[in-house]
């Protein structure tokens, strides 16, 4: 199948194109060079004047796995109110299901592709729950997926650190776990804190020795950041830091940047880690100081975790933080789990209100960060779905970033004391289409090591989104004219017209087999499961299709 | 003769991964495990009838599928129940349910819903089996001994010395129930009396209530619950275990709610977590898959194509009264609960199943973890496990059979609808 898109303006920053008019050719599932005058396309789409981008990529969205499925159970009222019938399309029924904040699998895929997203990554996959997460991910149609393996609270790793087993042993363990769980990256969540909570510690600061192991969050963080670097994983250590949501935590976040001491690090949902204690309410924005530190540290990348107003649910491995949030649950119910000497999960429904001082400020802080961070290659569009808001708020968020007048009008509606405690009102910046293309396409592909995604050069996956260039950027990004997934036209004028399936991305750094003996003993003695039942085989991924591998290049810390 | 060590057991929900199986030309036989379920259900003959049956007469699988599609396609109130299958089988059943507007439920979901009702209304604080094994210094068992449903619970998860308990000592206290003789043998002196084992006629709900009163500091000093409350508060990591499926008496969900509230009140100061166990025959996996596919737990139907959940109306026992066609899926064991229906029954079950009365259609299927590989969830709901196939007896999986039904159902409409895409 040869497809030609004629006359579109290509926003393809990875290849230096910022709105130039150029035809785009797709052959089967790939972008190809203009095949020359003799070629006869099977389909031609006239997209003159329209904006053409690669499919968007969400690097941090809780879409699959145990905590998400528990959140669906807990959010029964929402699901009752938002039920969707699937459309019949050939042999497929597409898009049916329920939910907004925790949509069911088919609905998740449908909502993403309808907005022109062709990939979304589950950022908190527990090793013990990885098989479940993969089963769910393979049931999400249309989009590519992958999971970031949560490490740093598992008793095995803490024991390695506490017994000075050495960096090489840690690296082997991390590599073994990534392989066994078919993961794409490593995430650390409240390093050591979830484990400490199991020993009844209710807080744990960056330099506080945790119970039992006597290991500090700082050392967990640095050991893991180094392992990820030395193994040569494309994605730097994905860090959900200490003290999430605690007023004054911006100091911890700044210390965490220092702790990386030059190693690459991705700090996630930094909005929740940017709080200062100025003002009568002892709660204010720390965004300016944090943005400055990030701007001058080129080894750092961040995503925001923007809060948007309305009902959602927070689902996190950070049981320690979630226990502090639980009294604010709306509706008033929540759940917590300790999990398999591995990590945990906490699910707390939440309603962000624009008339609440704290929530209003959270909203403003997220926008402040977006606008004060000057390099769109190092900042990513996220709401930490569903924790700050459902991912379906992205078009609204893009409008807030691209349209200053609209932003100021919204700022005027929130709690009257909030604007005084942020710099948001004084920021004139408006994101350009080119910057949006960087932030939602080129940069996510680059930071995850997905060489053939996020751009439109020949050889790239034919994941393409075509928008009308509307002044209302929300309307523009809510409803693309055309979306192609792997070369197949799946959305036309915002509606699903065909089914497609994505793939699962993984990395597989090598390891010294010796570590397997030690891990096997741990599984026999502690986990109560022979190691072979833990390991996920390629044939288990996407009903036998197997994963898509991305290369790792080992390197040494300079 | 071949030997399969470390075989995964998919039956009760504990997910034991250490079953030893011998296979020869006559079939498979497990080496004794001490678990009556594994010892019985892993014993299968190599030669079994693989023909489908229509009204008792042998027919080919193609004919059976065509007849199933005819029945299901014409049905006005179809029910897909039993639902005892691996995750792929359950997902196929959900696709079929969406396609024909059926409701789905698992044979054993009563036990699950006693817990889910509380989870959905209130939330909970729970833990998993490896945490129990390594962290727990005090086990409080609420109600009947869960070993009745989960035979190797104590041997595998409580008898081993806990890694994170100084000195390695732990106690197991039975509240409102008594340990089975096998449990006494396994746990020995770790078992302690609570003083309220339910034998004096107290019901579990009021015993749990009394313990909560004690935790609030409102019982007399010599009340046995006062001492137990102090034990819970002094424990480092207490785990309250219950198997709600074994509760008898009215309103078992109120017992569960009492237990969840009890856990919450202890967990405020020291660590305490619940461990609600339910889940034979991949009950948990069926509920998980239903949850991610529809957004709702089991007992969900499709109303005009959109999922609709009703925990009372869509329980299979209730739905059976109205169903004109029931697709009963039972891949794990050749057993079915007694049920009667005026509608037609299509049964997908192991060939060893003896059914009376003979259903309209019987299509033999393999058992996940014996005839083919399949994913099942453990009873603590977090861990999914892949059980490999052991023997090829020519039996298709539930997913295969339902997949063929789906293809046949779509055949006449494919051309028409594809044109619209």
Report DSSP letters for A454-495, one per residue.
S--STTSB--EEEE---SSHHHHHHS-SEEEETTEEEEETTE
CB contact under 8 A, A96 and B305: yes
CB pairs under 8 A between A and B: 201
Residue B413 has a pLDDT of 44
Does the pLDDT at position A262 exceed 70?
yes
Give the nearest partner residue to B382 out of A89, A96, A129, using CB atoms: A129
Residue A91 has a pLDDT of 64
CA distances to A72, B113, B260 from B254, rounded to whole Å, are 22, 12, 10
Residues 37-66 of A with CB under 8 A from B: 64, 66
**Nearest by Cα to A488 from A164, A128, A113, A184:** A113
CB contact under 8 A, B134 and A155: yes
Residue B280 has a pLDDT of 95
What are the two backbone dihedrals, phi and then psi, of residue B401, each rounded to the nearest 5 degrees? Answer: -65, -45
- Burial of residue B340, with CB atoms counted within 10 A of its CB: 0-12 exposed, 13-18 middle, 19 or more buried: exposed
Chain B residue with minimal CA distance to A322? B125
CB contact under 8 A, B6 and A99: no
Give the nearest partner residue to B156 out of A64, A135, A528, using CB atoms: A528
Domains contained in chain B, CATH given: 49-108+282-414 (3.40.50.740), 111-278 (3.40.228.10)
User: How far B199 CA sits from the closest chain A CA (Å)?
Assistant: 33
Cα B14 from Cα A442, distance rounded (Å): 45
What is the per-residue pLDDT across B304-329, written as a single tens digit (0 to 9) for each? 899 999 999 999 999 999 999 999 99
User: How far B157 CA sits from the closest chain A CA (Å)?
Assistant: 8
Written as six digits, the tokens of A165 are 């087993």
Residue B304 has a pLDDT of 87
What is the per-residue pLDDT across A363-388, written as a single tens digit (0 to 9) for each? 999 999 999 999 999 999 999 999 99
Cα B98 from Cα B410, distance rounded (Å): 13
Give the nearest partner residue to A128 out of B6, B124, B382, using CB atoms: B382
CB contact under 8 A, A76 and B293: no
How confident is residue B279, by pLDDT bands cut at 50, 70 and 90? confident
CB contact under 8 A, B295 and A129: no
CB-based contacts of A413, cutoff 8 Å, min separation 6: A354
- Which residues does chain A have within 8 Å of residue B117's beta carbon, measured at their own beta carbons? none
- Asked if A113 contacts A490 with a C-beta cutoff of 8 angstroms, the reply is yes
Among A67, A73, A332, most B C-beta atoms within 10 A, so best to mutate, is: A73
- Asked if A430 contacts A401 with a C-beta cutoff of 8 angstroms, the reply is yes
Name residue, tokens 């003290």: A243
Give the nearest partner residue to B291 out of A69, A128, A329, using CB atoms: A69
Query: Does A108 contact B at CB distance below 8 Å?
Result: no
Q: Which helix (H) or strand (E) holds A349?
A: strand A343-352
How confident is residue B411, by pLDDT bands cut at 50, 70 and 90? confident
Does the pLDDT at position B235 exceed 50?
yes
User: How far A110 CA sits from the closest chain B CA (Å)?
Assistant: 13
How confident is residue B414, by pLDDT bands cut at 50, 70 and 90? very low
Query: Does A252 contact B at CB distance below 8 Å?
Result: no
Cα A381 from Cα B166, distance rounded (Å): 47
Q: What's the mean pLDDT in A67-72? A: 98
Q: How many CB atoms lie within 10 A of CB A325?
A: 17
Q: What's the mean pLDDT in B199-222? A: 91
Query: Does A523 contact B at CB distance below 8 Å?
Result: no
Written as six digits, the tokens of B14 are 């504990």
Between CA A186 and CA A311, with CA B294 as vertex, the angle to 5 degrees is 70
* Residues written for chain A: 558
Give the nearest partner residue to B271 out of A84, A198, A532, using CB atoms: A198
What is the per-residue pLDDT across B15-70, written as a single tens digit (0 to 9) for each? 999 999 999 999 999 999 999 999 999 999 999 999 999 999 999 999 999 999 99
Q: What's the mean pLDDT in A12-27? A: 98
How confident is residue B194, by pLDDT bands cut at 50, 70 and 90? confident
What is the per-residue pLDDT across A286-312, written as a single tens digit (0 to 9) for each? 999 999 999 999 999 999 999 999 999
CB contact under 8 A, A135 and B289: yes
CB-based contacts of A465, cutoff 8 Å, min separation 6: A52, A53, A54, A55, A56, A116, A118, A480, A482, A483, A484
- Which residues does chain A have within 8 Å of residue B308's beta carbon, measured at their own beta carbons? 83
**Nearest by Cα to A139 from A112, A106, A116, A99:** A106
CB contact under 8 A, A64 and B237: no
Give the nearest partner residue to A131 out of B270, B304, B384, using CB atoms: B384
CB contact under 8 A, A337 and B125: yes
Residues 315-344 of A with CB under 8 A from B: 329, 333-342
Chain A residue with minimal CA distance to B160? A525
- What is the reported pTM? 0.97
Does the pLDDT at position B344 exceed 50?
yes
Cα B114 from Cα A84, distance rounded (Å): 28
Chain B residue with minimal CA distance to A341? B131
Cα A176 from Cα A472, distance rounded (Å): 48
Q: What is the DSSP string of B29-49?
A: EEPP-S-HHHHHHT-EES---
> Across chain A, how many H-helices and E-strands are there?
18, 31
Does the pLDDT at position B119 exceed 80?
yes
Mean pLDDT of chain B: 94
Q: Which helix (H) or strand (E) holds B415?
A: helix B414-419
- Asked if A54 contacts A451 with a C-beta cutoff of 8 angstroms, the reply is no
Residue A518 has a pLDDT of 97
CB-based contacts of A304, cutoff 8 Å, min separation 6: A269, A270, A271, A366, A369, A370, A379, A380, A381, A382, A383, A388
User: How far A195 CA sits from the closest chain B CA (Å)?
Assistant: 11
CB contact under 8 A, B384 and A89: no
- Which residues does chain A have within 8 Å of residue B135's beta carbon, measured at their own beta carbons? 198, 338, 341
Does domain A54-496 bear CATH number 3.20.20.140?
yes
β-partners of residue B125 are A336
CB-based contacts of A247, cutoff 8 Å, min separation 6: A275, A276, A277, A282, A283
Query: Does A80 contact B at CB distance below 8 Å?
Result: yes
Cα B125 from Cα B17, distance rounded (Å): 27
What is the per-residue pLDDT across A80-112, written as a single tens digit (0 to 9) for each? 999 999 988 766 778 899 999 999 999 999 999
Cα A40 from Cα A209, distance rounded (Å): 67
- Asked if A383 contacts A266 with a C-beta cutoff of 8 angstroms, the reply is no
User: How far B41 CA sits from the closest chain A CA (Å)?
Assistant: 20
β-partners of residue B138 are B171, B238
Residue A261 has a pLDDT of 86
Query: Does A33 contact B at CB distance below 8 Å?
Result: no
Among A70, A147, A334, most B C-beta atoms within 10 A, so best to mutate, is: A70
Query: Does A554 contact B at CB distance below 8 Å?
Result: no
User: How far A384 CA sits from the closest chain B CA (Å)?
Assistant: 19
CB contact under 8 A, B128 and A339: yes
Query: Does A181 contact B at CB distance below 8 Å?
Result: no
- Asked if A179 contacts A143 with a C-beta cutoff of 8 angstroms, the reply is no
CB contact under 8 A, A84 and B306: yes
Q: What's the mean pLDDT in B184-213? A: 88
Q: ipTM of this predicted complex? A: 0.97
What is the per-residue pLDDT across A345-356, written as a single tens digit (0 to 9) for each? 999 999 999 999
Q: How many CB atoms lie within 10 A of CB A23?
A: 15
Query: Does A99 contact B at CB distance below 8 Å?
Result: yes
Mean pLDDT of chain A: 97
Give the nearest partner residue to B164 out of A106, A212, A525, using CB atoms: A212
CB contact under 8 A, B131 and A340: yes
Residue B175 has a pLDDT of 95
């Amino acid at each position: 199948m040869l497809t030609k898109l004629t006359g579109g303006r290509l926003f393809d920053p990875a290849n230096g194109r910022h709105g130039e008019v150029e035809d785009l050719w797709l052959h089967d599932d790939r972008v190809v060079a203009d095949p020359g005058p003799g070629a006869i396309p099977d389909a031609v789409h006239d997209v003159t004047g329209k904006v053409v981008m690669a499919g968007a990529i969400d690097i941090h969205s809780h879409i699959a796995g145990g905590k998400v499925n528990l959140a669906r159970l807990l959010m029964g009222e929402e699901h009752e109110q938002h039920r969707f019938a699937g459309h019949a399309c050939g042999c497929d029924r597409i898009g049916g299901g329920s939910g907004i904040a925790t949509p069911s699998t088919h609905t998740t895929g449908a909502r993403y592709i309808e907005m022109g997203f062709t990939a979304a990554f589950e950022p908190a996959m527990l090793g013990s729950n990885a098989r479940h997460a993969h089963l769910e991910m393979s049931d999400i149609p249309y989009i590519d997926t992958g999971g970031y393996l949560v490490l740093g609270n598992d008793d095995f790793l803490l024991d390695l650190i506490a017994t000075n087993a050495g960096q090489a042993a840690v690296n082997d363990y991390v590599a073994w776990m990534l392989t066994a769980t078919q993961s794409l990256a490593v995430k650390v969540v409240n390093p050591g804190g979830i484990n400490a909570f199991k020993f009844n510690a209710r807080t744990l600061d960056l330099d506080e020795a945790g119970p039992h192991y006597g290991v500090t969050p700082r050392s967990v963080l640095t050991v893991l950041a180094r392992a990820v670097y030395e193994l040569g994983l494309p994605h730097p250590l994905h860090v959900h830091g200490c003290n999430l949501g605690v007023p004054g935590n911006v100091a911890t976040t700044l210390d965490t940047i220092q702790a990386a001491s030059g190693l690459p690090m991705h700090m996630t949902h930094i909005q929740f880690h940017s709080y200062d204690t100025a003002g009568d309410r002892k709660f204010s924005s720390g965004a300016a100081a944090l943005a400055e530190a990030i701007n001058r540290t080129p080894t750092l990348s961040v995503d925001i975790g923007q809060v948007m107003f309305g009902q959602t649910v927070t689902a996190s491995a950070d049981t320690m933080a979630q226990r502090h949030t639980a009294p604010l649950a709306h509706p008033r119910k929540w759940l917590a789990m300790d999990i398999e000497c591995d990590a945990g999960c906490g699910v707390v429904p939440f309603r962000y209100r624009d008339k609440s001082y704290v929530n209003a400020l959270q909203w403003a802080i997220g926008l402040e960060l977006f606008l004060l961070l000057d390099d769109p290659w190092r900042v990513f569009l996220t709401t930490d779905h569903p924790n700050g808001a459902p991912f379906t708020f992205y078009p609204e968020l893009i409008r807030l970033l691209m349209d200053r007048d609209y932003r100021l009008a919204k700022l005027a509606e929130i709690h009257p004391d909030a604007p005084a405690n942020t710099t948001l009102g004084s920021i004139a910046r408006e994101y350009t289409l080119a910057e949006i293309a960087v932030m939602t396409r080129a940069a996510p592909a680059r930071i995850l090591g997905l060489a053939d995604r996020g751009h439109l050069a020949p050889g790239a996956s034919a994941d393409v989104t075509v928008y009308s260039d509307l002044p209302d950027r929300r309307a523009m990004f809510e409803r693309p004219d055309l979306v192609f997934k792997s070369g197949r036209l799946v959305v036309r004028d915002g509606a699903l017209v065909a089914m497609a399936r994505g793939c699962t991305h993984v990395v597989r750094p090598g390891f010294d087999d010796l570590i397997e003996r030690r891990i096997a003993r741990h599984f026999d003695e502690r986990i109560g499961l022979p190691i072979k039942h833990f390991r996920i085989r390629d044939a288990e991924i996407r009903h036998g299709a197997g994963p898509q591998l991305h290369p790792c290049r080992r390197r040494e810390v300079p | 003769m071949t030997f399969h060590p470390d075989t995964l057991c998919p039956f009760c929900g504990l997910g034991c991964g250490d079953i030893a199986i011998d296979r020869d030309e006559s079939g498979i036989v497990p080496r004794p495990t001490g678990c009556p379920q594994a010892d019985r259900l892993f014993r299968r003959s190599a030669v079994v009838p693989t023909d489908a049956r229509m009204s008792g007469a042998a027919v080919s699988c193609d004919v059976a599928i065509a007849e199933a599609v005819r029945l299901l396609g014409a049905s006005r109130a179809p029910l897909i129940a039993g639902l005892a299958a691996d995750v792929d089988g359950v997902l196929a059943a959900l696709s079929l349910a969406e396609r024909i507007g059926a409701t789905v439920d698992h044979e054993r979901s009563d036990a699950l819903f006693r817990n889910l009702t509380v989870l959905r209304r209130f939330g909970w604080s729970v833990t998993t089996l490896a945490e129990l094994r390594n962290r727990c210094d005090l086990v409080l068992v609420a109600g009947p001994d869960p070993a009745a449903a989960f035979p190797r619970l104590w041997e595998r998860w409580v008898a081993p010395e806990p890694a994170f308990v100084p000195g390695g000592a732990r106690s197991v206290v039975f509240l409102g129930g008594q340990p089975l003789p096998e449990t006494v043998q396994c746990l020995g002196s770790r078992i302690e009396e609570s003083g309220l084992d339910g034998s004096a006629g107290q019901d579990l709900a009021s015993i749990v209530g009394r313990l909560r009163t004690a935790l609030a500091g409102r019982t007399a000093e010599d009340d046995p619950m006062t001492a137990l409350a102090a034990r819970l508060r002094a424990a480092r990591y207490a785990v309250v275990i219950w198997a709600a499926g074994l509760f008898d008496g009215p309103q078992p969900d109120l017992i569960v709610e009492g237990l969840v509230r009890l856990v919450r009140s202890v967990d405020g100061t020291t660590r305490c977590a619940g461990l609600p166990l339910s889940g034979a025959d991949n009950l948990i996996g069926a509920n998980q898959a239903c949850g991610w596919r529809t957004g709702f737990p089991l007992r969900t139907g499709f109303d005009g194509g959109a999922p609709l959940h009703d925990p009372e109306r869509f329980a299979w026992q209730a739905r059976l009264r109205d169903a004109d066609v029931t697709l009963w899926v039972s891949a794990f064991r050749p057993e079915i609960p007694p049920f009667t229906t005026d509608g037609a029954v299509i049964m997908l079950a192991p060939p060893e199943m003896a059914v009376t009365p003979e259903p309209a259609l019987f299509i033999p299927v393999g058992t996940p973890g014996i005839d083919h590989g399949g994913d099942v969830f453990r009873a603590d709901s977090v861990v999914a496990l892949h059980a490999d196939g052991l023997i090829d007896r020519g039996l298709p999986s539930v997913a295969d059979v339902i997949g063929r039904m789906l293809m046949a159902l779509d055949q006449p409409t494919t051309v028409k609808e594809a044109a619209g895409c």
